[in-house]
Amino acid sequence: MEIRLNCENCDHPLLNNSKEAMICTFDCTFCKDCVDTILKNVCPNCGGGFEKRPTRPKELLYKYPPSNKKILKPVNMKKFQLTLNKFKKIKPSDR
């Protein structure tokens, strides 16, 4: 798993031990606030749902460090609206 250190939408910092980091099955990373209020638990990249990102054990951070690649792709709400309307009323496990 890739530990990304920022929200792809709002750039909020999401350190390894963040309780706000949410990921989809492809490691797309967003903060809990964006997932709950803007994305409504629908990944704008794949249409999947989100889960809390696990924390990597401290003793493994040296061997497997978080990503140093910053991904910032603020959601285009006009384009995302089609995906959101298609999936928001379907449980992630049923999409």
pLDDT tens-digit map of 8-58: 999 999 999 999 999 999 999 999 999 999 999 999 999 999 999 999 999
Answer whether CATH 3.30.40 is correct for domain 1-65. Answer: yes
CA distances from 10 to 5, 14, 65, 90, 94 (A): 12, 11, 23, 25, 28
Classified as helix, coil or strand, 63 is: coil
Residue ranges per structural domain of the chain:
1-65
Kindly report, residue by residue over 64-95, the tens digit of the pLDDT: 999 999 999 999 999 999 999 999 999 999 99
